[in-house]
Amino acid sequence: MTETATKTRCGFVSVIGLPNAGKSTLVNTLVGSKVSIVSRKVQTTRTRILGILTQGEAQIILVDTPGLFTARRPLEKAMVRTAVSGMEEGELILHIVDVAKRNALEENSAIREMLRKKAPSVLVLNKVDKIAKHKLLDLSAQMNAAFPYEATFMISAQNGSGVEDIKKYLAANLPESVWLFPEDQMSDMPMRILAAEITREKIFEQLHEELPYAIFVETDAWEEFENGSVKINQTVFVERETQKAIVLGKGGSRIKEIGSAAREELKKILQTDVHLKIHVSVLEKWTERPACFNRIGLDSGT
């Protein structure tokens, strides 16, 4: 009598929600490593990012998307197109809701309408440590009355509470399939792009009150040496000379701090010495140029 082979499961899970709902934090917590940048600023994630994790015999491929919001400027419209495209990929959809946000039920109504013709959707109520239990239960009941979610989870993506339950649910509900990635792979994002994203995160952390979203970062060169160390050259693009001055800081002090913070994070991820050089350049009105959107992985609509 032959033994029955263990069946593996694999599938895409789209992670969607309003800006700053905690999508990227949840993806990083699920994966167990940083694959998407996190910032207190809204609309931080600009492009579709894959995070990959294994749970038992299942490989779960997470699609972290930009926040869904009412877009006005060309860059914002490209971000929303990218988010909608990412939603289309999932066999399952995780709808992340910030329960600490006022009027969460009403503010998520447009997303619920978008979900009606999509893949089966799961409600994830995030930041539960920031709301009274009776209010949380009321919101859960109202959200489920407004839309037929397959399941509901109450979590804190920040501290990991409730996240294991999501992993188990996803692993059990993805379709039977061979795995699409090696077991130890955590993302499909090239390291040079992740390095650019980390530098962008450090800029947000240091200039959150001073600099708008008119920046993007490109990794121009990546050189690996025999001793294992890595040399990375990057360019930070801004729209105006005044923004360049802010990023550089007096005597270049600010860009040195940004570079130091980015370098330390990259050393942890790469587990080797990192030499990082950052140049700041002005690219006027890049947020209105579709060709620039393609450079940062957004759907330009062209």
Tens digit of each residue's pLDDT (9 = 90 or more) over 24-64: 889 889 988 766 655 554 445 555 667 888 899 999 988 87
DSSP conformational letter for 156: B
Which uninterrupted H or E stretch holds 213?
none
Main-chain phi, psi angles of 264, to 5 degrees: -65, -40
- CA distance readout (Å), 68 to 49, 64, 173: 15, 12, 25
Q: Where are the beta strands (DSSP E) in the chain?
A: 9-17, 49-55, 58-64, 92-98, 121-126, 152-154, 215-224, 230-238, 274-282
Reading the chain (302 residues) residue by residue, the pLDDT tens digits are 344 456 899 988 988 888 888 888 898 899 887 666 555 544 455 556 678 888 999 999 888 776 554 445 555 565 655 555 555 667 899 999 999 988 999 999 988 988 887 779 999 999 999 999 999 999 999 999 999 999 999 999 999 999 999 999 999 999 999 998 888 777 766 788 888 888 988 888 888 766 656 788 888 999 989 998 999 999 999 888 998 999 999 999 999 999 999 999 899 888 899 999 999 999 887 767 776 666 666 555 55
- CA distance readout (Å), 93 to 136, 174, 226, 235: 21, 11, 43, 35
pLDDT value of residue 97 = 96
- All structural domains of the chain, each given as residue ranges with its CATH number in brackets, are 9-173 (3.40.50.300), 191-295 (3.30.300.20)
Residues with Cβ within 8 Å of 6's Cβ and at least 6 positions away in sequence, in order, are 57
118: exposed, middle or buried (Cβ count in 10 Å: 0-12, 13-18, 19+): middle
How far apart CA 138 and CA 82 sit, in angstroms, is: 32
On whether the CB atoms of residues 244 and 282 are closer than 8 A, the answer is yes
Q: Which two tokens stand for residue 14?
A: 């789209």
How far apart CA 17 and CA 22 sit, in angstroms, is: 8
- Residue 229: half-sphere exposure toward Cβ, Cα within 13 Å: 7
pLDDT value of residue 216 = 82
pLDDT value of residue 79 = 60
pLDDT value of residue 1 = 39
How far apart CA 65 and CA 124 sit, in angstroms, is: 15
Q: Per residue in 241-279, pLDDT tens? A: 998 999 999 999 999 999 999 999 899 888 899 999 999
On whether the CB atoms of residues 232 and 275 are closer than 8 A, the answer is yes
Residues with Cβ within 8 Å of 283's Cβ and at least 6 positions away in sequence, in order, are 237, 238, 239, 292
How far apart CA 105 and CA 135 sit, in angstroms, is: 12
Does the pTM of the predicted model rise above 0.85? no
Sheet of strand 230-238: strand arrangement: 215-224, 230-238, 274-282
pLDDT value of residue 151 = 97
The candidate with the shortest Cα–Cα distance to 75, out of 297, 302, 289, 295, is: 289
Residues with Cβ within 8 Å of 224's Cβ and at least 6 positions away in sequence, in order, are 230, 231
